[in-house]
Amino acid sequence: MKKILITGGAGFIGNEIIKLIENKKIITIVDKKKDKLTLSKFKKLGIKYISGNLIDKNFSKKIYKKASIIFHLAGETKVPSTDINLDLKKEKKIYFEATTKMQNLIKYSNKNSKIIFPSTHLIFENYKKNKIILNENSKPKPNLAYSTSKLRCEQLLVKNKRNYIILRLGSVYGPTLKKRMFNLPNLFAMRAKNNLNLKLFSKGIQIKCIVSVKDVARAMVYFSKYYKKKVIFNLVSEHFTVREIAKICKKYNNEVKLVSTYDKIPYKGFYISNKKIKQTSFHYKYNYNQFAKEYIN
């Protein structure tokens, strides 16, 4: 029987993956969380839950050795989106932790383990023009530690000839705990729900590549089961400008005002091609309009 390990599995994406795996007894989750609510939830589901830090080599050695499929979600999620007044100490920590965890995974997991790794569209964040369409073969141009570390983790998987599926995620939206509603597609929906105005920096021209957390989980589970090739896919379902996202949210709460400002944005955004993933048997099921309608109402 295949054993599934989900690192960082108590988080946003991990909770969606768990819903899609019928036999909960084959799942082990590793996460830093130790609160009673988290522990109780997984105990009720019959899922083995281990709290610990995957930077620790001895801990990693015990955790990885029996896993057949590894969904490697562990890592920092609330990261800087601009290099203005950047905390360089935190940047170094983000990079060190992400790359060290991947090095431990590669070193201590079984060579035949299938590794599903969520990278990010932000490995292209230094492209300055917003009319470019980028695909899986486009040259990465990361900037901040989050995107730089994701790219390095991709390179480590490829260099070490591991059995990987790399999914470069767009900005992931979906209903979750309030403290995880910080990325723009979620933030605007939450503000609209609470009758708060929506600020459009640089008049909302920035392009956002987005994808539902439900489609992210579906893709990760699908490719873990049915795809044997080592491959990289862009996992982006829709593109909108910030203004377009705001207008969708306003459609479901007309009391909300869109406030244009001249505040600077870190980059204008870009288009990510999803042609490659659409050539497989995986299909997107969810869209942002559907999410905004359900969440705001």
CATH of the domain at 231: 3.40.50.720
Q: Which tokens hold the place of 69?
A: 């499929």
- Specify whether the CB–CB gap between 172 and 183 falls below 8 A: yes
pLDDT band of 283, cuts 50, 70, 90? very high
CA atoms within 13 Å, Cβ hemisphere of 133: 5
Tens-place pLDDT, residues 162-191: 999 999 999 999 988 666 678 999 999 999
Q: Please, what is the average pLDDT of the chain? A: 93
Phi and psi angles of residue 229, each rounded to the nearest 5 degrees, phi first: -75, 150
Q: Residue 180: what pLDDT?
A: 67
pLDDT digits (tens, 9 = 90+) for 128-152: 766 679 999 999 999 999 999 999 9
| Helix/strand/coil for 166 | strand
Q: Which two tokens stand for residue 207?
A: 């392009």
What is the extent of the structural domain holding 218?
A: 4-296
Structural domain count, the chain: 1
Percent of the chain whose pLDDT exceeds 90: 80
pTM for the model? 0.94
Within the chain, strands assigned E span 4-7, 27-31, 48-51, 69-72, 114-120, 133-134, 163-169, 171-173, 198-200, 207-212, 231-235, 238-241, 258-260, 271-272
Residue count (the chain): 297
